[in-house]
Amino acid sequence: MMARKLGLLAGGGALPGLIVSHCVQSGRPFFVVALEGQCDPGLTAPIAGQQIPHVSLRIGAAGTAVKHLRREGVEELIMAGTIRRPTLFQLRPDLWTLRFLLRTGGLGGGDDKILTALVGALEGEGFSVVGPERVLPDLLAPSGVFGSVHPDEAAMKDISAGISAALDLGARDIGQATIVRDGVVVALESSAGTDAMLAACAHAPPEVSSGVLVKVAKPGQERRADLPTIGVETVRGAKEAGLRGIAVESGGAIVVGMKEVVAEADARGLFVMGVHVDGE
């Protein structure tokens, strides 16, 4: 039995490309909505001579996207990749998007509030919205240490403090990540994202590596969109910030390119691990 046709709403980062490659290799029918100014321009380049079925649209043209997805016979839909929140001027909303914004109170809420409403609206259009791990199960972070570097007792205490701080931050629908050094929260993720938080800490990293990046899902968040995600660039950013390691929620965070992440972390002397989180 052939898998249902998959639609991909593609933002930035490496994750959309992994999904496209999987569909090409597995022969699963798919269609990509490449969000202009958000996704990697190379996402829709041919793979092994195969053209990538797609349309490129601005983020505010959601009504046009829905029409294309219906015309293509898409049944399942994935939202994958990072999205930089646009201004209303950049959004230039079409009628579908404008109605969505009026129903949900606009762009003023937290990411989870907006994404939860968007998932509901897309399902109301007849699509089955699924998480990226439905297509690539190995994306979810396992429990325990991923590589050869292990945290010590001090790092584990920082992780525990970081989980509490990140859950508090997430409960307010602000962010998913925090940085803790010697039991003290030194940075909280904002709407600018994890990379920006790490870059800010890199301006004056400590002489001796200390502290951890902790990234977990928001309590009760919509888990089919915007799960906490790390990749090779996260490891590099953590090293530049003078951190000793990274902890993510096992079963509740995405690791893009596990082999590459482990190799990078081992080479830079950082630990990366999945930890259990009781966030409900």
* 145-161 pLDDT per residue, tens: 999 999 999 999 999 99
* pTM, two decimal places: 0.89
Identify whether the C-beta of residue 119 lies closer than 8 Å to the C-beta of residue 222. yes
Query: Is 140-275 in CATH node 3.40.140.80?
Result: yes
How many CB atoms within 10 Å of residue 1?
A: 3
Give exposure, 229-249, as e/b (b: 16+ Cβ within 10 Å). bbbbbbbbbbbebbbbbbbbb
State the span(s) of the chain assigned CATH 3.40.140.80: 140-275
- What's the pLDDT score for residue 64? 96
Tell me the two tokens of residue 157.
């205490």
Q: Where in the chain is the domain with CATH 3.40.50.20?
A: 6-134
Question: Is residue 279 very low, low, confident or very high in pLDDT (cuts 50, 70, 90)?
Answer: low
Q: Does domain 6-134 have CATH number 1.20.210.10?
A: no
